[in-house]
């Protein structure tokens, strides 16, 4: 967790003062490398999600895994919301010691909760029951392009033509690679994966927008707390029907998806999006499927073909182009 002075100070820019899709023009240029680093750390955290989920499924049912991971992340987030103080100028209506979001922000928080707290984890976990992590990574390959598209529709961002060509090329390279890795076959899990793609992109877009007016960790923190009335009953029902077998893999997988993917990863991700803009941050995720495949080899023993370094080089070129492109 970052120091209190930086983690708790919300952006003074109102929603209408800057386009959250392209970053804050009032921020110092020197903050952009930090924002890129934060978004990249989020991508690394997310790249471990599928292998960790596969581990978690060794000991938990899909519904139990999703409910318990969300509750654990909400407990951590709620503790942070209670523990962190509010600067004097921001004191007012607060929950614990953190200011309660304004009413106009609750819809966005609900979208974040539905997309990244419940929807994407649940749909991808259901898919991973019958799909390999390599095949599931195709949804992550398409996620940057989908996020940029929803950002353009939601908040009127207008990335340059070069940005879109680079994004399409990177997405095509990742899709071709992941489909080749999975043998080119489409499974019943694809319906879950494409639905997960849409709900996660919506959650990222709303989360990036909200991170312009409140600290990124509070965005995901409030979304997690907001989902507790759903996740607690869900856990109670799921644990009563789905058997649980605690092993080193299942517990480690559960802890990572709860703490690393569901909370800490989203904290740095939303901070990064707020600093450099939603479209450019989303393109860093072009590297996520390749990182996931590396973790799959190291942690799950899946086979990796020689196409990986070639695809990695193509994706890195696309990322460099999108980071330089101006909307």
Q: Which residue has the tokens 């259901």?
A: 126
- The pLDDT assigned to 289 comes to 83
The mean pLDDT value for 276-292 works out to 81
- Share the mean pLDDT of the chain: 80
Rounded to 10°, the helix 307-324/161-181 angle is: 160
Q: What is the pLDDT of residue 31?
A: 61
Q: Does the reported pTM lie above 0.85? A: no
Q: How far is CA 126 from CA 60, 65, 182, 227, 326, in A?
A: 12, 10, 17, 19, 38
CB half-sphere exposure, 213, CA atoms < 13 A? 19
Q: What is the pLDDT of residue 252?
A: 95
Quick: pLDDT tens for 207-228.
Answer: 888 888 888 788 889 999 999 9
- Residue 24 has a pLDDT of 44
User: What pLDDT, on a 0 to 100 scale, did the predictor assign at position 279?
Assistant: 74
**Which pLDDT score, from 0 to 100, does residue 20 have?**
41
Q: What does the alpha-carbon distance between residue 181 and residue 187 come to, in Å, rounded to a whole number? A: 14
* pLDDT exceeds 80 at position 262: yes
Q: What mean pLDDT comes out for the span 258-275?
A: 87
Please tell me the predicted confidence (pLDDT) of residue 97: 57
CA-to-CA distance for 18 and 269, rounded, in angstroms?
Answer: 19
Where is pLDDT greater, at 90 or 165?
165
How far is CA 272 from each of CA 23, 68, 112, rounded to the nearest angstrom?
10, 27, 16
CB atoms within 10 A of CB 29: 6
Q: Which tokens is 25 given?
A: 């023009």
- Judged by average pLDDT, the poorest of 19-33, 106-120, 253-267, 304-318 is 19-33
- pLDDT band of 13, cuts 50, 70, 90: very low
* pLDDT at residue 28 in the model: 42
* Percent of the chain whose predicted confidence (pLDDT) is above 90: 33
Beta strands in the chain (DSSP E): 94-95, 98-99
Burial of 17 (0-12, 13-18, 19+ CB in 10 A): middle
pLDDT tens digits for 50-78?
999 999 999 999 999 999 999 999 999 88
Better pLDDT: 105 or 289 = 105
Place of tokens 């086979």: 303
Nearest C-alpha neighbor of 87 from the set 194, 214, 241: 214
What does the pLDDT look like over 82-110, one tens digit per residue? 877 544 444 444 444 567 888 899 999 99
| Lowest-pLDDT choice from 31-40, 66-75, 107-116, 181-190 | 181-190
Alpha helices in 48-104 (DSSP H): 49-56, 62-83
d(CA 101, CA 64): 30
**φ, ψ of residue 294 in degrees (nearest 5):** -65, -45
Mean pLDDT of 29-57: 87
Compute CA distances 138 → 149, 186, 287, whole Å: 17, 11, 12
The answer to whether the CB of 193 falls within 8 A of the CB of 138 is yes
Whether 191 shows a pLDDT value over 70: the answer reads: yes
Give the pLDDT score at 182: 66
């Amino acid at each position: 967790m970052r120091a209190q002075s930086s983690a708790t100070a919300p952006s003074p820019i109102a929603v209408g003062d800057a386009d959250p899709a392209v970053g804050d023009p009032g921020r110092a240029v020197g903050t952009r490398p930090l924002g890129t680093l934060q978004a990249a750390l989020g991508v690394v955290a997310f790249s471990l999600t599928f292998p960790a989920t596969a581990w978690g499924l060794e000991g938990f049912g899909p519904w139990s895994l999703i409910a318990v991971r969300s509750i654990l992340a909400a407990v951590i987030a709620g503790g942070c919301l209670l523990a962190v103080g509010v600067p004097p100028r921001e004191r007012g209506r607060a929950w614990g010691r953190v200011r309660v979001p304004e009413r106009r922000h609750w819809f966005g928080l609900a979208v974040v909760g539905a997309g990244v707290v419940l929807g994407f984890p649940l749909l991808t976990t259901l898919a991973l029951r019958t799909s390999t992590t390599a095949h599931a990574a195709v949804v992550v390959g398409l996620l940057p392009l989908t996020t940029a598209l929803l950002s353009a529709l939601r908040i009127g961002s207008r990335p340059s033509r070069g940005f879109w060509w680079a994004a399409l090329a990177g997405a095509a390279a990742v899709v071709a690679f992941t489909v080749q890795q999975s043998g080119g076959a489409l499974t019943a899990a694809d319906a879950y994966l494409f639905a997960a793609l849409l709900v996660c992109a919506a959650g990222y877009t709303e989360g990036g927008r909200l991170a312009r007016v409140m600290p990124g960790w509070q965005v995901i923190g409030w979304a997690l707390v907001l989902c507790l009335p759903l996740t607690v009953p869900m856990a109670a029902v799921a644990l009563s029907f789905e058997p649980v077998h605690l092993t080193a893999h299942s517990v480690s997988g559960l802890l990572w998806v709860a703490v690393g993917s569901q909370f800490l990863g989203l904290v740095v991700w939303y901070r990064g999006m707020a600093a450099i803009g939603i479209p450019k941050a989303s393109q860093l995720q072009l590297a996520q499927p390749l990182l996931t495949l590396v973790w799959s080899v190291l942690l799950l023993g899946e086979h990796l073909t020689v196409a990986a370094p070639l695809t990695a080089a193509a994706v890195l070129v696309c990322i460099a182009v999108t980071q330089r492109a101006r909307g």
